[in-house]
Structure 1
Amino acid sequence: MNIIIVGCGKVGCTLVEALSSENHNIVVIDSRPEKVSALTDTVDVMGIVGNGVSHTTLKQAGIETADLLIAVTGSDEENLLCCVIAKKSGHCQTIARIRNPIYNEEKDFLQKEFGLSMIINPELTAANEISKVFQFPSAIRVDTFAKGRVELLHFKIGNNSPLCGLKLSKFHATLHCNDILVCTIARNSEEVIIPNGDFEFAANDIVSIVAKRRDAIDFFRKIGLEKNRVSNTIIAGGGKISYYLAKSLLMSGIKTTIIEINQQRCEFLSEQLPKATILCGDATDKELLSEECIEKAAGFAALTDLDEENILLSLYANGISSAKTVTKVNRINFTSVINKLDLGSIIYPRVITAEYIIKYVRSMNNSLNSNVEALYKLEDGKAEVLEFLLKENSAVCNIPLQNLKIRKNTLICCIYRNHQVIVPSGQDCMMPGDSVMIATSGYNISDIKEILED
C-alpha cells in the first residue's frame, strides 16, 4: 500500500516504524529537515522536506497514486487542510489527528464535510484507556472486542498468587473458570508466549485473558485480585488527557481532583469541569499531596508533561497508598526498563494512537474472508490480539478447529456468536457472521485465512 505521512513528531515516527515493518511504501513529509533526516537514516522510507499542505509537495510525494494519507502535524487546522487537498489531488483515503476539544465536539460534522476516513484524537483515546482501567482496577490494561461485549484483560501475577507454579493444563479444573481463556503471557519484558498445556505460570508474569466482565470479576476474586471500581481519583497534571479523563470519570460518578501548576490552565479546567476539584500547585509537592489525602485515594493518575515526574509520582503513590495507579509515558526508548518498575498501568499515548491507525490500515485490506474489527499490540509489538468479522465465503468457516492447520504461535481465543461467548474447543467451528479473536506472535495478520499454515 502507498502511504503518505505528514508530520514527523512522536506519533508520526511511531507510525512510520510500525507501518514500514508491514511492507508498505511510505513517504514522510515534514518542514523540519532534521526530523526527516532522522527518520530516513533509520527506516527505509522516502523523505520530503516541505509543507504537507502544499499541492506541489503532495504531488512530489505521489499523492495521485497514494492509497492513504495520514496527517499528524502539530496543527489541527493544517491536518484538516492537508487532508482536503489530498482528497482533491488524488483518490486516497485520509486520516487526520485532531486534538482541540472544541473540534472534538464537532468530530462527526468535520469527518462528513471534509470527507475524512478517520479522525484520531490521541489524548481522548488515551483518556478512554485510562478510564477503563479505573472502572476495572483488577487489571493493568483493558481492551474490548465485539463492541464491548468481550474484554481482553491483562494482569500481573503476584508472589503469593495461587497461579504460581500452576500448569495451564490444570488451570480450568483448579480454578473452576471454564469461561476464561488465557491468550498470552509476557515474561521478563522480553518475550511473549502463546501458551500450551505444559506452560507453568510464575510470579511477575503479565497474563492476558479473554472473558465477559462478570466471568472476569469472579476469576479475579478467586485469585485474590478483586478490586472495586475506584470511587475517587487524583490526577497530577492538567493537560488534554487529564481534561478528557476527568470528564469521563465525573460522568461515571467518580470524584476527581486535578493538580495543575499553571494558573491559566486551572481557570480553564474550573470553567469546563465545574464538578471537579481543581488545585493550582505543584503535583510533586509532598505536602500538597498529603493535604489531598493521597494515602486514602482509590485512584491516582500521573499525567504531567514529564516522564520523570510521572514515574516518580506513581512510585511515591504506590509506596504510601493502595491506590490504582496509572502512569503516562511519552518516550518509548526504554520500555523494557520502565515495565519492570512498580508503576501500575502504563499508558503510551503515541502507541495507542498508532494501534488505532494500524487497525484501520489493515482493515483497508479487507478481503472476501474477513474484516479486521480490532487490533491490540502487546509488549512493544511482540504479539497482537485481533478481532475478525467472518464473511460468508471465508476459508476457515464450517471446519472443526481440530482439522485446521493453524500456524505455530497462533491461538483462537474466543468466538462471539449471537450474543454468546464461546471459549472454543477442537470440535467447535467458526461460522459466517462470527466475531473471532486471534492471538499471535511473529506475524502481521490482516486476513483470517493467514492463521493457517501455507
Structure 2
Amino acid sequence: MKIVIIGDGKVGYRLAKQLSEENYDIVMIDSNEGKLRTAIDKLDIFCVAGQATDVEVQKEADVPHSDLVIACTSMDEINMLSCLIARRLGARHSIARVRNPIYYKQIDMMKKDLRLSMVVNPELIVAKEIARVLIFPDASKVETFVRERVELVEFPITEDSALAGMALKDLYDKFQIRILVCAVEHGKNEVVIPDGEYRIQAGDRLHVTASHVDVDEFRRKFGKRKNKIKNVLICGGGRVSYYLATGLTKLGMQVKIIERDRNRCEELCELIPKATIICGDATDHDLLYEEGIREADAFVALTGMDEENIIMALFAKNQNVAKIVAKVNEDRRVEMIEDLGIDSVVSAKTATADMIMSYVRARQNSYGSANVETMYQLVGGKVEALEFIVRSEAEYTNIPLKNLTIKPNNLIACIARENRIILPDGEDCIKVGDSVIVVTMSQKVQDIKDIIVSNGRK
C-alpha cells in the first residue's frame, strides 16, 4: 500500500514512523529540507522537498499512483487544497486534518466537493477524550467502541482498593459486575494480557472493557469519587478548550476558562455564553487561588506549551484537586508526568494518529473477512485495542471460542451483536455482522484471523 504523507510535523512524523514499521510504502512531502533529512536518517521512507500544493511536487512524490494521501500540515487550507489536487491527479483516497471550527462545521458540505475520504479534527478528538475522563473521573483514560456502546477504561489500583490481592477469575462471583480485564500495566515496564489466575496488585493499571452501564457500576463500587464532577477549571483558551467547554456546559457542568489573550477571551465569551471566561495568566498561583482552584472538582491544563501544562498540573495536585488532566504532546514528557502522579494525560498527536491508523488498517484489509473500524494504542503503544466488523464467513466464524486456539498475548475482549454486548466465554462464537474487539500486544494484526492459529480447532 503506497501512502503519501504531507507535512513533517508531530502527527506526520508519528504516522510515518508507525506506518513504515508496518512495512507500508511511505513518501513524505514537506517544504523544510532540514526536517526531511532528519526523517530520512531515522525512518525507512522516501522524502520530497517542496510545496504540497504544487502539482509537480506531488507528481515527483508519485501521488498519481498512491493508495492514500494524508495531509496533516499546520494549515487547514493547505491540507484541503493538497487533497483536492491529489485526488485530481489520481490518488485513490485522501485524509485532511481540519482544525478550524468554522471549516469543521461545514465539512460535510465541503467533503464531497473536495473528494475527501476522511476528515480529522485533532482538537475535537482530544476534547471528547477529556470529557469521557471527566464523566468517569476515577479512570485515567476512557476509549470507546461500537458507536460508544462499549468502553475501555484505564483504572489505577491504589493501596486501599478492594480489588488489590484478588484473582481476576473471582471478580464476577464476588461483585456480580460484567467486566473483562483485558490488559494490565504492572510497574514501569511490564505489560500482560492476563488470564483468570492473575492476581491484581496495588500500583497496577487495569484496562477494563464493558458496556457503559457496567463500567458505571464498576466506578460506583470501586472508585474513590462517589460524586460527579460539577466544577471544572480550564487553563488555556485554544480550540480544545472551546470544544471541551461547549460539551461540558451542555452536560450541566460549571466551566471556567483562564486565557491570557484578551481578544481570544472576547471570542470565547461570544462562542460559549454559559462558560465563565477570565483574562489572565493561568501560571499565576494567586490568580488560580482567586478563581477557586481549591474548590474545583477538576483541573484541565490545555495551553500550547507542554511545560506550562505540566507545572500547572503539579500545582493543582498540590492543591488536592481530585481530577487533573494535562495536554502533553511530547512522548518523553508523558512518561515523566505519569511518574509524578498525574495519571490523565492527553495528546492531540496520539489521538489523531490512532484515528488515521484505523482508517489505514481498514483500507489495507478491505478485501478481508473483517475490517478495522476503530483502533487505540494503550500503554505507550505496547498494546493495541482494535474493533473489527466481521463482513463475511471465515475460518473462525460460528465456532465456539473454546475450539479456537488464540495466539499468545491476544484476547477477544468483547463481541457486539445487534443490541447485545457480549463479554465472551468459551461457549460464545463470532458471527457475520458482529463487532469484535481484539486486544493484542502484536503491532501487525489486520484481521481477526491473524490472532488465531491456523486449523486451530482443538
Tell me the equivalent position of 1:136.
136
Question: Aligned with 1:304: secondary structure?
Answer: coil
Question: In the alignment, what sits opposite 1:418?
Answer: 418
State the distance in 1 between where 2:179 and 2:24 align.
36
Task: Give the match for residue 229 of structure 1.
Answer: 228
Cα shift at 1:205:
1.3
Tell me the alpha carbon deviations over residues 113-153 of structure 1, each in whole angstroms, 9 at most, x when there is no partner.
11100111111111111111112212111111111111111
Tell me the secondary structure at the aligned position of residue 330 of structure 1. coil
1:226 CA displacement: 4.6
**Shift in Å, 1:331:** 1.0
Gaps of 5+ in 1: none
Residues 73-92 of structure 1 correspond to what in structure 2 (within 5 A)?
A: 73-92=73-92
Equivalent position of 1:432 in the other structure: 432
Aligned residues: 453
| Higher mean C-alpha deviation, range 257-266 or range 365-374 | 365-374
CA deviation vs aligned residue, 1:336-370 (integer Å, no higher than 9, x gap): 33322221310011000000000000010223411
2:174 is paired with a residue whose SS is: helix
Q: In 2, distance between residues paired with 1:340 and 1:176? A: 33
**1:194 alignment partner in structure 2:** 193
- Contact 2:138 2:223 (C-alpha < 8 Å) held by counterparts: no
Distance 1:325 1:83 in 2: 38
Query: Could you give the per-residue CA deviations for residues 367-414 of structure 1, whole angstroms, max 9, x where no partner exists?
Result: 341111111110121001111111231321100101112111000111
| Whole-angstrom distance in 2 between the partners of 1:192 and 1:106 | 43
Q: 1:135 to 1:156 in 2, by over 3 A?
A: same
Equivalent residue letter for 1:317: A
Counterpart amino acid of residue 319 in structure 2: I
Q: Which residue is 1:117 aligned to?
A: 117
The TM-score with structure 2 as length reference comes to 0.96
**349-358 vs 249-258, which deviates more?**
249-258
Bigger drift between 168-177 and 290-299 goes to: 168-177
Task: Tell me the residue number matched to 1:355.
Answer: 354
Judge which range, 414-423 or 336-345, deviates more: 336-345
Give the match's secondary structure for 2:47. strand
Is 1:87–1:94's contact at 8 Å kept on the other side of the alignment?
yes
Q: Which amino acid aligns with 1:262?
A: D
How much has 1:448 moved relative to structure 2? 1.4
For the pair 1:146 / 2:146, whether they are aligned, the reply is yes
Give the AA of the match of 1:38: T
1:171 and 2:175 aligned: no
Instruction: Report what 1:17 is aligned to.
Output: 17
Matches within 5 A, 1:189-338: 189-338=188-337
Tell whether the 8 Å contact from 1:167 to 1:201 is kept in structure 2 after alignment: yes
SS in 2 for 1:377: strand
**223 and 275 in structure 1: CA distance in 2 versus 1, 3 angstrom threshold:** closer
1:367–1:447 CA contact under 8 A, matched in 2: no
Select between 356-365 and 193-202 the one with higher mean Cα deviation: 193-202
- What is the TM-score when the length of structure 1 is the normalising length? 0.97
The amino acid that maps onto 1:385 is A
Q: Read off the aligned partner of 1:141 and give its amino acid letter.
A: K
Structure 1 residue matching 2:42: 3-state secondary structure: coil
Query: Structure 1, residues 163-187: CA drift from partner, whole Å, max 9, x if none?
Result: 222222322223332x111111112
Separation (CA, whole Å) in 2 of partners of 1:260 and 1:86: 39
Per the alignment, residue 381 of structure 1 pairs with 381
Q: Which amino acid aligns with 1:393?
A: E
Secondary structure, counterpart of 1:84 in structure 2 = helix
Alpha carbons 1:190, 1:336 under 8 Å: kept: no
How far 1:270 sits from its partner (Å)? Answer: 1.4
- Counterpart of 2:246 in structure 1: which amino acid? K
Kept in 1, the 8 Å contact 2:383–2:442? The answer is yes
1:210-238 deviation per Cα after TM superposition (whole angstroms, max 9, x unaligned): 11222122222322435433112110011
Structure 2 unmatched runs, 5+: none
- Equivalent in the alignment of 1:339: 338
Change (3 A) 1:224 1:238: closer
Read off the aligned partner of 2:61 and give its amino acid letter. A
Letter in 2 for 1:297: A
Mapped partners of 1:325, 1:441: distance in 2:
29
Q: Please give the alpha-carbon distance, in whole angstroms, between the structure 1 residues aligned to 2:421 and 2:412.
A: 13
CA contact (8 A) 2:407 2:451 kept: yes
Deviation at 1:78, TM superposition (A): 0.7
Aligned match of 1:156? 156
Contact 2:328–2:334 (8 Å) recurs in 1: no
Q: Deviations over 1:63-104 (max 9, x none)?
A: 121000000111111111100110011132000011111101
Comparing 216-225 with 266-275, which one deviates more in the overlay? 216-225
Contact 2:136-2:219 at 8 Å conserved across structures: no
Verify: 1:34 aligned to 2:34, yes or no.
Answer: yes
- Verify the 8 A CA contact 1:374 1:388 in the aligned structure 2: yes
SS in 2 for 1:380: helix
Q: Structure 2: how far apart are the matches of 1:132 and 1:393? A: 35
Question: Is the contact made by 2:152 and 2:209 (CA closer than 8 Å) also made in structure 1?
Answer: yes
SS at match of 2:339: coil
Whole-angstrom CA distance in 2 between matches of 1:311 and 1:127: 18
Does the aligned pair in 2 maintain the 1:191–1:382 contact within 8 Å? no
8 Å CA contact 1:330–1:350 kept in 2: the answer is yes
Judge conservation of contact 1:3–1:68 (CA < 8 Å) in 2: yes
